[in-house]
Structure 1
């Protein structure tokens, strides 16, 4: 059932000049938290991801990609290349709290919509720009793409088998992290504005955010000056913490400390390993990674995945199967957490979307409207926010401004 209770950002209005994934991820999060998000799209075309199909949502011509990151938004088609279209945007900004955009650096200046153009007239405006490389630096003008950022940000050098090719992550993590960091920045800027009345510019570069989440691997490099090698499914700092083959498939084993390794040896009948200094501590196991792996591989191969998961979980040892997406969405825990939400769509169909993972006890995310049809709310927004008449809207539409 669609939830309609107010969210923590109820009363906040966002002008959304984003497309594809990084920007829409950010603005969908704001919408889930209760903000009114007005998504500006090109007349006749819309967000690029409307064309990223198949697959389509069942019984519609809406791409699954677009529907996944554009709920809780109103679609207003405006040609910002035309002066009349720019006037519409400028008028809307008078009642907006935030503008989020992911155009190339400098692209909005030709429409009078850059931060520099707007900050004097709208001193309370929070203006978030999400680009590949940020607003400054030698790469600022370059376009940013997820796989490019994964490559340049170092993650691909860390991902893949030691003797194989560098690999990107199977989902567009560079886009997603940039969108989430953008949302974090916006919420911080909103808190500042609530305290001071002052808006500000937020500069999110995908490469910056990618480097930021190198986490322990980035710190390993800074501490040693050595490039971490690709380890496949193994952990750079903990052993055994990896994938092992079982009798009928695979299991992920996560032995996070020495007491857990002792319990693991007890469950698997390998207590003798605890007397071997090469196995006795995590530091020793990291130094003897290949030996540990070769020793444990036939042990894990001796039983099925289901058997191992049951036995290891009973001893509080981190482990789990490697699920397909079908298994993920059928998992009883995933289902109990309500990770899939059914929403009515303007096509007349009910669409399934992945729920917002932020669980707030007092003001949970809301699911008010599924991703809009192209231009679905154009008349509504122009009437309610600009006060235009039906005839005035018809004139704009005839001129292909909206």
Structure 2
């Protein structure tokens, strides 16, 4: 079932011309916040990620779990933009929208009249966000970009994984498509900023988002170490480049994570472990000294930690106000009572009655809460409803477009 949105972006209309993850992640956030998101898909195919499995839903659609993670709170309309009639329908939808999000290659929408210059000429208040691998200019602008390759090119993989001299050492990607996800987040932030500008001036604008730009920006402290300290960051496994101790440790029955952020916490941890001499040892007196002697400190801490049961040490650290945690599996954390209390796992039902579960929006609004009104749609299931409602198409015209293959309904 669906219900009217309640979020802070209620009343805004988003035309989603994006596929895969970065763009759909951004438009899903806008949908969670109350915007009406219309997702345009290719008839007979749909978003590429619908087939990125297994696992798949066993409901006839064979939609993948991957697709389900990024496409709730949207309506799916299947239109062939390569047909001039289809491109015209999408242009009319854009003129009736506040925001367009697309992730075609640079210049790929010009031939359809769906590029920013064409659409903004008719609708100057339009906010248009383009997401590409490398941006709208620069020597790499014509290249396609995927998360994995950007993780490597950006330098992220040079600081992710075990050190080269350890077993299993070498470059490692992050376990989720972090570049796509964070580009979607930055795109959303940028769209909201453009909305604030439009509220003041009445004028829209073009937002140029690039996967490589985003991931380089996210190098944060690691890039700053090079830019401002001349230090080349390297892979350290689970060791922090600056804080010590800040890593995983083996207890008698499993691993825990210890994340101590200051000297006071370090001294309290030494007392808890029964190692008061470590706290007064000049080699470990402050974080800079511990960095210089991190190998010696780890050799002293590891045997003491290994005598504890993980639950006992975590409980003792909690009482002492020291940050620590488990290395959970995904099933572990999704069954955690705190995650349940925070409402992070949301049950939804597709229009055919198929149940799905999604991870909710993490922000909590006191006045305009997010909602979960539309489960991830089947490809094209909303084509007729949207085209009647937004463009006023009559039944004869809609039937003609469906017969010609320009529009499709409820595929898969």
SS in 2 for 1:120: helix
Partner of residue 142, structure 2: 141
Q: Deviations over 1:289-342 (max 9, x none)?
A: 111111111111111111110111110111011000111011111111111001
Match of 1:330 in 2: 335
Does the CA-based 8 Å contact 2:262-2:287 persist in structure 1? yes
User: CA contact under 8 A between 1:158 and 1:166: conserved in structure 2?
Assistant: yes
Is 1:321 the equivalent of 2:326?
yes
For 1:107, what is the secondary structure of its paired residue? coil
Cα distance in 1 between the residues matched to 2:404 and 2:112: 18
Structure 1 residue 59, shift from structure 2 partner: 4.7
- Report the equivalent of 1:68: 69
- Contact 1:2–1:343 under 8 Å retained in 2: no
* Among candidates 229, 234, 237, match of residue 232 of structure 1: 237
Structure 1 counterpart SS, 2:109 = helix
* Aligned residue number for residue 127 of structure 1: 128
Cα displacement (A) at 1:386: 1.2
Alignment of 1:91-130 (within 5 A): 91-130=92-131
Indicate the RMSD between aligned Cα atoms, in angstroms.
Answer: 1.2
SS at match of 1:260: helix
CA contact (8 A) 2:94 2:119 kept: no
Q: Look up the SS of the partner of 1:137 in the other structure.
A: coil
Contact 2:95 2:119 in 1 (8 A): no
Structure 1: 5+ residue stretches without partners: none
Contact 2:243 2:260 in 1 (8 A): yes
- 1:168-207 to structure 2, matched below 5 A, reads 168-207=173-212
Q: 1:90 to 1:140 in 2, by over 3 A?
A: same
Secondary structure in 2 matching 1:374: coil
Deviation at 1:28, TM superposition (A): 0.2
Query: Residue 57 of structure 1: CA displacement?
Result: 3.3
Kindly state the Cα deviation for residue 378 of structure 1 after the two structures are TM-superposed: 0.5
Residues 5, 398 of structure 1: CA spacing in aligned structure 2 closer, same or farther, 3 A cutoff?
A: closer
Residue 158 of structure 1 is matched in structure 2 by: 159
Corresponding residue for residue 37 of structure 1 = 37
Deviations, residues 211-242 of structure 1 (Å, cap 9, x unaligned):
11111111111112231111100001100000
Cα distance change, pair 139–38 in 1 and its aligned pair in 2 (3 A): same
Distance 1:54 1:282 in 2: 46
Stretches of structure 2 that go unaligned for 5 or more consecutive residues are: 408-412
1:6 positional shift:
1.7
Report the number of matched residues: 402
CA shift for structure 1 position 53: 1.7
Deviation for aligned residue 1:2: 7.5
Aligned pair partner of 2:267 in 262, 266, 269: 262
Question: What is the rounded CA distance, in whole Å, between the counterparts of 2:186 and 2:17 in structure 1?
Answer: 17
Show CA shifts across 1:235-287 (max 9, x none): 01100000111111101001110000011011000101122111111110011
What does residue 410 of structure 2 align with?
none
1:282 correspondence with 2:287: yes
1:381-396 mapped onto 2 (5 Å cutoff): 381-396=386-401
Shift of 1:62: 2.2
Q: State the distance in 2 between where 1:4 and 1:270 align.
A: 59
For normalisation by structure 1, the TM-score amounts to 0.98
> Deviations along 1:75-111, whole A, 9 cap, x unmatched?
0011111110111011112211010001111111111
Partners of 1:157 and 1:102 in 2: CA distance: 27
